[in-house]
C-alpha cells in the first residue's frame, strides 16, 4: 500500500480565490510503502508572488527574497499530481492544506486535489478520536508518542511530513493483521499458513471439590443479595 504524507506552508490562512488569497510557499511529500519509508520524497519551495503575513513568516521563516527565484506552482503542478496519483494521502488538519491545493490547482485549470488521489486521511481527526480532550497538534503528538522533533525550530513542509509519518506509524501500531493470506510471503520471506483448529481436541479440566464448594458459596451469596432472583438457580 502506497501512502503519501503531505504538508504545506503558506503566506497566511486565507485560500479564498474570491478575496485576496494567500498562496503556498512550500510543499513536502514523504512516501511510505508497506509501512516503511522509501526515501522517495518530493519537496518544493514556491514563489507565491506575494509577501507572507507576519504571523506566517514567524512560523516558517521563508522570506520573499528567498522565494523570489523559486518556481511558481504552475511549473510543478503536473509533477506533484503524478507523484500523488492514486495514493492514500495523509495530512494533519487536511481541510487547511486541501483548500490551498485546490485553489492553486484551480488557477492552472486542474480539478480539485481529491480527484487525482486514492483517498485522504486526516490525522487530526484520528488523534481527536484517540485522545479526546487533549492537545493534538503535531508537536503535542510527537511528545505524546515519543517522536523526536528536537530539530523542529521552524515549521518546514518536508520535515513536518516526515514527523507526521513517524506519528502515524505510532498511532496505528498494532493495527496490522496478525496473519497474512495463506501462501503470501511477508517482507522477510516468511509464509503464514492458516491452521484448521477443528482438528485439535482440547482437554476439559473439571473443577475439584474445593473449587466446587467455593463456587457454590459465591452463587449462594449472589442469590441472597438478589432476593432469590438468580436465574442459574431457577434453571438448575
pTM beyond cutoff 0.95? no
167 lies in the same domain as 210? no
What average pLDDT does the segment 145-167 reach? 85
72 lies in the same domain as 114? yes
Instruction: Write down the pLDDT at residue 181.
Output: 42
Whether 119 is in a domain gets the answer yes
User: What are the residues facing 10 on neighbouring strands?
Assistant: 24
Domain enclosing residue 210, as ranges:
203-235
* Structure confidence by residue, pLDDT tens digits, 89-146: 999 999 999 999 999 999 999 999 999 999 999 999 999 999 999 999 998 999 999 9
* Structure confidence by residue, pLDDT tens digits, 159-196: 999 999 999 999 998 554 333 344 455 555 555 556 65
**Boundary of a domain, candidates 155, 171, 187:** 171
73 lies in the same domain as 163? yes
Task: Report CA torsion sign: 103, 108, 112, 116.
Answer: negative
Whether 103 is in a domain gets the answer yes
Chain CA centroid to CA 111, Å: 24
Whether 196 is in a domain gets the answer no
* Structure confidence by residue, pLDDT tens digits, 71-81: 999 999 999 99
164 Cβ contact partners less than 8 Å away, ≥ 6 residues apart? 5, 7, 30, 90, 91, 92, 123, 138
- 60 catalytically annotated: no
Whether 124 is in a domain gets the answer yes
- State the catalytic residue, choosing from 60, 92, 110, 155: 155
How many domains does the chain fold into?
Answer: 2
Whether 176 is in a domain gets the answer no
3-state secondary structure of 204: coil
What average pLDDT does the segment 204-212 reach? 83
130 lies in the same domain as 66? yes
Amino acid at each position: 500500500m502506497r501512502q503519501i504524507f503531505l504538508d504545506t506552508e503558506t503566506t497566511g490562512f486565507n485560500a479564498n480565490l474570491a478575496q485576496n488569497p494567500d498562496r503556498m510557499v512550500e510543499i513536502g511529500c514523504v512516501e511510505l510503502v508497506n509501512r516503511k519509508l522509501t526515501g522517495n520524497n518530493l519537496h518544493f519551495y514556491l514563489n507565491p508572488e506575494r509577501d507572507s503575513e507576519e504571523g506566517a513568516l514567524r512560523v516558517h521563516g521563508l522570506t520573499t527574497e528567498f522565494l523570489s527565484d523559486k518556481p511558481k506552482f504552475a511549473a510543478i503542478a503536473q509533477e506533484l499530481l503524478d507523484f500523488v496519483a492514486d495514493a492514500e494521502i495523509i495530512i494533519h488538519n487536511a481541510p487547511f492544506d486541501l483548500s490551498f491545493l485546490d485553489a492553486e490547482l484551480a488557477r492552472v485549470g486542474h480539478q480539485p486535489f481529491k480527484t487525482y488521489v486514492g483517498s485522504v486521511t486526516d490525522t487530526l481527526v484520528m488523534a481527536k478520536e484517540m485522545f479526546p480532550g487533549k492537545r493534538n497538534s503535531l508537536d503535542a503528538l510527537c511528545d505524546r508518542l515519543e517522536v523526536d522533533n528536537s530539530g523542529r525550530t521552524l515549521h518546514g513542509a518536508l520535515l513536518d511530513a516526515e514527523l507526521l509519518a513517524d506519528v502515524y506509524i505510532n498511532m496505528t501500531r498494532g493495527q496490522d493483521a496478525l496473519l497474512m493470506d495463506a501462501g503470501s510471503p511477508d517482507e522477510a520471506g516468511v509464509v503464514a499458513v492458516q491452521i484448521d483448529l477443528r482438528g485439535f481436541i482440547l482437554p476439559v479440566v473439571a473443577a475439584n471439590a474445593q473449587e466446587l464448594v467455593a463456587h457454590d458459596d459465591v452463587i449462594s451469596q449472589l442469590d441472597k443479595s438478589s432476593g432469590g432472583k438468580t436465574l442459574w438457580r431457577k434453571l438448575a
